[in-house]
Amino acid sequence: MALGAQKNNFKKYFICIFFRIFVPFENTQIMDRNTITGLILIFALIVGYSWWASPSAEQREQMAREAQEQRIAAALRQDSLARLATENSDTEIIGDVETHGRASLQTQKSVPVKDENNIFSNSLHGEIQTVTLETDVFLLDFKNLGGTPERVTLKDYLVWTRDFNITLFDQNWHDFYISFFVNNRLINSKDYYFEIISSVPTGAKITGNETAQISMRLYADEGETLDKSRYIEFVYGFKGNDYMIDFQINFVGMNDVITNRANFIDLHWNAVLPRNEKAPNLEDPNTGVYFKPNNGKVDYLSETRDVREEIKTPLRWVAFKHQFFSSVLIMKDDPIMNADLASFVDPNRDRANYVKTLNALIGLPYKSDENYSINMELYLGPNRYSTLTSYKMDLERLIPLGWGFFLMQWVNRFAVIPTFEFLQKFNFNYGIIILILTILLKLVLSPLTLKSYVSSAKMRVIKPEVDELAKKFPKSEQAREKQRAMMALYKKAGINQLAGCIPMLIQFPILIAMFRFFPSSIELRQESFLWADDLSSYDSIVYLPFKIPFYGAHVSLFALMMAVSNVFYTRMTMRQNSAATTMPGMKMMMYFMPIMLLGFLNSFSSALNYYYFVSTCMTFLITWVTSKMINEEKIHRMIAEHRKKPVTKSKWQQRLEDMAKKQQDMQRQRKN
């Protein structure tokens, strides 16, 4: 065989091995040169664009500095307002405070200063008061300073170290307050003492459909006392078994007090998100700011780079999303008027306890009425598909199920998730559920498996005739004649060249759907199976005292089993192609691709690697059984019978041949 032909075959089999490992479907046909070239170009474009679009280390540091500056300056939207705030308030910086090993929020807080022109001056001083409440899903602590929850803890979920519960709201690393102007004085609600009005005593527990309400009121001054007929009120409503909290801001008698220059007031929402999960490579790129336009699809800021974006269109909700948990501010009536959103990584923080910083400066609609209310909701809970879909607000879009590709999301929404939820009812271990799910998928695809193997067997039967055509048209300029002769041969033999590719094309969306589903499924979080203590994160049987580049500092047994099973499957399929086994370097290639995947998937979800391992083993078994069931002599007779039938040309084929003939005539005329 000529060196050029060997190189071409080597390239073909490289692509085939790649697809057999990523898409281990039975007997995928070797693709033609144009298809292979297209795939290589697409892959090169993706890699090249990713490299070109990724910011340098200097650019990342610069973006982090700019984002920090924007966060500090975000209290005011205009330079004139910033000047007024600077003239009338002193500031101090509260540094990092470690709470339960978590990184806390570095915030800019106004120092209370008595001001005769500040109608809320009497509330600048007071005594700290607290009230606690327990529901089926929350532990809540409220403090009168600032009028917002001091801490919201989820009862049913632990951080990855399992030494304390997930906290979605904590004033040590969370800012949530409104700001507005009164007599050219900037008022930040977080600096003032509110009066607590609770419908239940402190420490009360509400369950099921029981409800409770906690109100926080900031009263206007009346001389040295408080005027309780004029106030700003934060009202929080709770239901025992619901992660959704009613949130209302009432303005009573404030119409001649608050300066209304733009028909909105600012809600400041800043959060330093702590690390909740074991695998940073899965948590970091799944943490960011999401938002839903009032009449549009859910969008989000980039989760892989520092970014700031000013949204000028009305919004229905804004969410701070973690890998498995989210905090969402939802408008009930009028939408958010505008928002300034930012997401960045602070280079000065310890990444062991810190993921990233998220900021939102939200313009809430406001009218200067005697009594005006802003009706909202706060979702503070898990990214569980069934829970989020029940609210019918597109909150399920917070879960990365492949929304950008319709086939991928369909597979997850209408096949994988319903099957997964059905199997959960039997209280099986999640490893058993994944096994059953894999078997069901393989059974559904088994008819295509049989068709693919029959097509592969037909190709093997006519291979001698294909080799004869290669000898008949050895020159590169005869490629068109060779291709036309091969197409005629396939048609006469009744062989569809696409038959072997169809299973691959069908399984590819399933493969990618699983790649998105398992790392984002909160049902798998901290669920154990065999040696894996958390199926949503990587499993490890050995922790290394050093880090191997592109691999990590641990050994994932499921990833290792996945790689080994692919080696055996690839060897089996390559034996069916004699040219592959005689090609130089092919044995090395068979081992190189699984090793590359081993490094790539070593730190991924153990459930994903377990699924790939089981899927490959099932494919191996189905291929072996199918090979025993199919009689190649019978296939040879089928081809012979088909050749006796007259070959009919479709209208499309006739048009193609006419076009090719015209092109040849034109080329001859040019030469003459």
Concatenate the DSSP letters of all residues of 347-403 into one string.
TTS-TTSEEEEEEEEEEEE----SEEEEEEEEEEEE--HHHHHTT-SSGGGGS-S-T
Spell out the domain ranges in the chain: 3-53+409-643, 57-399
Q: What is the pLDDT of residue 72?
A: 41
3-state secondary structure of 66: helix
pLDDT tens digits along 43-67:
565 556 555 555 565 655 555 545 4
Beta bridge partners of 344: 357
How wide is the angle at C-alpha 510 spanned by C-alphas 428 and 400, nearest 5°?
Answer: 80
Q: Tell me which of 153 and 628 has the higher pLDDT.
A: 153
Asked whether 154 and 254 are in contact (CB, 8 A), the reply is no
pLDDT greater than 70 at residue 20: no
What's the rounded mean pLDDT across residues 382-396?
A: 94
Q: What are the structure tokens assigned to 38, written together?
A: 């297209």
Banded model confidence at residue 22, pLDDT cuts 50, 70, 90? very low
Tell the residue number behind the tokens 């898409």, with chain if given: 23
Q: Tell me which of 514 and 110 has the higher pLDDT.
A: 514
Q: What is the pLDDT of residue 571?
A: 76
Amino acid symbol at 5: A
Tell the residue number behind the tokens 């406001």, with chain if given: 366
Q: Tell me which of 494 and 166 has the higher pLDDT.
A: 166
Banded model confidence at residue 478, pLDDT cuts 50, 70, 90? low
Q: Burial, 165: exposed, middle or buried (Cβ in 10 Å; 0-12, 13-18, 19+)?
A: middle
Asked whether 377 and 332 are in contact (CB, 8 A), the reply is yes
The Cβ of residue 30 has, within 10 Å, a number of other Cβ atoms equal to 17
CA distance 257 to 370: 10
| Residue 52, CA distances (Å) to 281, 285, 302 in order | 21, 19, 16
Q: What is the pLDDT of residue 182?
A: 86
Asked whether 261 and 76 are in contact (CB, 8 A), the reply is no
Residue 9's closest CA among 581, 597, 588? Answer: 581
3-state secondary structure of 149: strand
| Residue 478, CA distances (Å) to 7, 92, 666 in order | 19, 80, 18
pLDDT greater than 50 at residue 521: yes
Asked whether 168 and 378 are in contact (CB, 8 A), the reply is no
Banded model confidence at residue 300, pLDDT cuts 50, 70, 90? very high
Q: Which of 4-18, 60-74, 188-202, 655-669 has the lowest mean pLDDT?
A: 4-18
Q: What is the pLDDT of residue 31?
A: 43
Give the strand order in the sheet containing 371-382.
Answer: 195-198, 211-222, 225-239, 244-252, 371-382, 325-331, 315-321, 288-293, 299-300
Q: What is the pLDDT of residue 320?
A: 96
Exposure of 39 in the CB half-sphere (CA atoms within 13 A) = 14
Compute the Cα dihedral for 652, 653, 656, 658 and give only its sign. Answer: negative
Q: Tell me which of 558 and 480 has the higher pLDDT.
A: 558
Banded model confidence at residue 391, pLDDT cuts 50, 70, 90? very high
3-state secondary structure of 415: helix
Amino acid symbol at 265: I
Q: What is the pLDDT of residue 155?
A: 94
pLDDT tens digits along 79-134:
433 433 443 343 333 333 333 333 333 334 444 455 667 889 899 988 999 999 99
The Cβ of residue 209 has, within 10 Å, a number of other Cβ atoms equal to 9
- Mean of per-residue pLDDT scores for the chain: 78
Helix %, strand %, coil % of the chain (to 5): 45, 25, 30
3-state secondary structure of 83: helix
Q: Tell me which of 256 and 252 has the higher pLDDT.
A: 252
pLDDT tens digits along 204-251:
999 999 999 999 999 998 878 888 899 999 999 999 999 999 999 999
Q: Tell me which of 109 and 39 has the higher pLDDT.
A: 39
Q: What are the structure tokens assigned to 343, written together?
A: 């997401």
CA distance 142 to 150: 5
pLDDT greater than 50 at residue 7: no
Phi then psi dihedrals of residue 64, to 5 deg: -65, -45
Q: What is the pLDDT of residue 60?
A: 57
Q: Tell me which of 537 and 575 has the higher pLDDT.
A: 537
Q: What is the pLDDT of residue 653?
A: 60
Q: What is the pLDDT of residue 552?
A: 84
Asked whether 458 and 498 are in contact (CB, 8 A), the reply is no
Q: What is the pLDDT of residue 13?
A: 42
What's the rounded mean pLDDT across residues 502-511?
A: 71
CA distance 628 to 622: 10
Asked whether 543 and 536 are in contact (CB, 8 A), the reply is no
What's the rounded mean pLDDT across residues 381-399?
A: 93
Q: What is the pLDDT of residue 58?
A: 60
pLDDT greater than 80 at residue 10: no
pLDDT greater than 60 at residue 308: yes
% of the chain residues with pLDDT over 70? 70
pLDDT greater than 80 at residue 371: yes
Banded model confidence at residue 330, pLDDT cuts 50, 70, 90? very high
Residue 494's closest CA among 457, 467, 448? Answer: 457
Q: What is the pLDDT of residue 108?
A: 40
Beta bridge partners of 375: 248
pLDDT tens digits along 336-367:
999 999 999 998 898 888 999 999 999 999 98
Looking at 3.20.20.70, 2.120.10.70, 2.40.370.10, 2.70.98.90, the CATH number of the domain 57-399 comes to: 2.70.98.90
Q: What is the pLDDT of residue 396?
A: 93
Cα-to-chain-centroid distance, residue 5? 43
Residues in contact with 323: Cβ distance below 8 Å, sequence separation at least 6, in sequence order = 276, 277, 282, 283, 286, 287, 383, 520
pLDDT greater than 90 at residue 435: yes
Q: What is the pLDDT of residue 52?
A: 58
Beta bridge partners of 268: 177, 361
CA distance 270 to 207: 31
CA distance 436 to 23: 19
Give the strand order in the sheet containing 264-274.
Answer: 185-188, 174-182, 264-274, 354-365, 338-344, 307-311
Q: What is the pLDDT of residue 71?
A: 46
The Cβ of residue 335 has, within 10 Å, a number of other Cβ atoms equal to 18
Tell the residue number behind the tokens 């291979």, with chain if given: 463
Residues in contact with 510: Cβ distance below 8 Å, sequence separation at least 6, in sequence order = 411, 441
Q: Which of 68-77, 229-238, 453-462 has the lowest mean pLDDT?
A: 68-77
